[in-house]
Amino acid sequence: MKGRIFSLVIIFFTICQPIFSQISDFDTLDIPSDEIMSGFNDNLDSLLNLWYVEQQLSIDDMDTAYIAENDTLLPDYPDSVYINRLQSLPFEVEMTFNKTVRNFIKLYTNKRRERVRVMLNLSYYYFPLFEEIFDRYQIPYELRYMAVVESALNPRAVSSAGATGIWQFMYYTAKHYGITVNSLVDERRDPYKSTIAAAEFMADLYKMYNDWTLVIAAYNCGPGNVNKAIRRAGGKRNYWDIYYYLPRETRGYVPAFIAASYVMNYADYHNLKPVPVDFALNNDTIHIYEKLHLKQVSDVLNIPMERLRDLNPQYKYDYIPDDKQYVLRIPQEYIISFIDLEDSIFNYQDSIFFNKDNHIITPTSLNYNKPTLPSDKYTKLKYRIQSGDNLGYISMWYNVRLSDLRYWNNIRSNTIRAGQNLNVYVPNAKADYYRPVNELSFAEKQKRIGKTVTETRMPLDTQDNYTGDYVTYKVRSGDSLWEIAKRFPGVSDNDIMQLNNLNYGATIQPGQILKIKKKI
């Protein structure tokens, strides 16, 4: 009898040994310090400052009332359940479980569950955007959960060290990856541009370590600290082997990432339901070449100012400058109205928002509500439109207002075609300077206004899809015509619309095939 019991015990421990090893090997790891927990708490709490969250009933009251109705809302699972669930996730990153991971799971599912409910809703907006960009850079999709740990999906999050945005970029790292940060604009807060920078940063880190867990650690504390930890660990390159040699915050970062991955996939098992946040899931971008204040857009189109701010968090003072091309993101249902009322928007109370005494006066700027043809102080030039041109470029090359250019040529939209001639009026004293513009290359024209033309990589899924005079592009979730055009040098969104017989303001859908003209 004793022998049979002994045999059963041996069999039991043999079967369960993998589970025990995943717990016991790291159960002696230190628990994240109070300041680490506090940092993650601050990120979660910052969600409540967003306007589209404030529009809802009190989240704390909602959740407290919900829990009161059902005392089974907070289930307590054994470690083996967490382990099995983590192992079942189809992830490339190893999902290790230990007491530190368990503590973060409880933080998300118990103490801060109401904030997690907000993140579940925001994930419907942000995660498709992350996935589209990660797919382009071959980043595992599960690294999207880093943004949960970094900022709780809050693009306005700012750490005590100054890291900013949904991906928490420090100033110099952001500048290294082409993010604009100045007195008026902080593109670290732009979810689209900051995600591209984050993906490029992750791809560079993977080239260094060939290990995604180390990439996650290095993203948090920098490759210098990870390299130092590897040296101190005698050259070992496993995260858990170098754990004690890493900064204390990074020791909590990877477990927090694993816990966030768990919670965002198994929220239902913890009775976590998304808060119905009224966020503009369907929106689109418009490229802006002139000075614009969000209040001009808000008042003319009757869009709540706070909603515009949350869709465009990169503009610190609600002001879009004209030093380069920027984008304005608005709810999709307002796109046609913006196009139809564009002149009215830019002209609306512009003397209040912008002091024109400090700017060069263009031919119609003395009377914005009633444009007139220029006087004899101006010279009329002809510009022949070339492939890849758009009205925004042309207005910058001649230093004239976009609305003036439309008025002189009786153009009601942004649609122009190659070979078309445009009338452009410039001051007599500047006529000789602007006359050669018509003969310059695109790069030369950009150079005259201080812009550098850089080659853009062609998307991987278009390199071999040449058909006649164009390539084909498959629309992905989150794409807009402007964003697609950016990936193809010398191509504008107008070119794409014309080649695909799309009306201005037309909606494109994921999976749709577009023709893109070849670069000339």
Residue range 148-174, pLDDT digits in tens:
999 989 898 888 788 999 999 999 999
End-to-end CA separation in angstroms for the chain: 86
Mean pLDDT of all residues belonging to the chain = 78
Residue intervals in the chain for CATH 3.10.350.10: 360-453, 460-517
451-476: average pLDDT: 56
Among 241-245, 458-462, 480-484, 511-515, which stretch is predicted with the lowest mean pLDDT?
Answer: 458-462
CA pair distance 328, 294, nearest whole angstrom: 9
Of 149, 57, 63, the closest CA to residue 108 belongs to 149
- Give, in order, the Cα–Cα distances in Å from 216 to each of 139, 200, 306, 513: 12, 13, 33, 35
CATH code for the structural domain at 360-453: 3.10.350.10
Burial class (CB in 10 A: 0-12, 13-18, 19+), 169: buried
Copy the structure tokens of residue 170.
């420090």
If one looks up domain 30-185+197-270 in CATH, what number appears?
1.10.530.10
Confidence check: pLDDT of 85 > 60:
yes
Helices (H) and strands (E) in the chain, counts: 24, 9
Choice among 5-14, 33-42, 99-108 with the minimum mean pLDDT: 5-14
371 vs 462, which has greater pLDDT? 371
Phi and psi dihedrals of 329, rounded to 5?
-105, 125
In angstroms, rounded to a whole number, what is the distance separating the alpha carbons of residues 180 and 188? 8
Identify whether the C-beta of residue 292 lies closer than 8 Å to the C-beta of residue 162. Answer: no
Q: Residue 233: what pLDDT?
A: 94
Say which CATH superfamily domain 460-517 falls into: LysM domain (3.10.350.10)
Q: Please work out, in degrees rounded to the nearest 5, the angle formed at the alpha carbon of residue 516 by the alpha carbons of 511 and 520.
A: 160
Q: Over the stretch 206-215, which tens digit does the pLDDT of each residue have?
A: 999 999 999 9
> Virtual CA dihedral for 39, 42, 43, 44, nearest 10 degrees?
120
pTM of full prediction above 0.85: no
3-state secondary structure of 366: coil
Residue 164 dihedral angles phi and psi, to the nearest 5°: -130, 145
Q: Is pLDDT above 90 for 134?
A: yes
User: Which residue intervals of the chain bear CATH 1.10.530.10?
Assistant: 30-185+197-270
Contacting residues for 418 by C-beta, under 8 A, at least 6 apart: 385, 386, 387, 389
Angle at 13 (CA atoms; ends 10, 16), nearest 5 degrees: 150
pLDDT band at 376 (very low <50, low <70, confident <90, very high): confident
- The tokens for 65 are 């009332």
Kindly report, residue by residue over 312-352, the tens digit of the pLDDT. Answer: 999 998 999 988 889 999 988 888 888 888 888 988 887 77
Q: Whose CA is closest to 216, among 140, 146, 136, 127?
A: 146
Q: Is pLDDT at 26 greater than 80 in this prediction?
A: no
Q: Which residue, 94, 175, 176, is CA-closest to 140?
A: 94
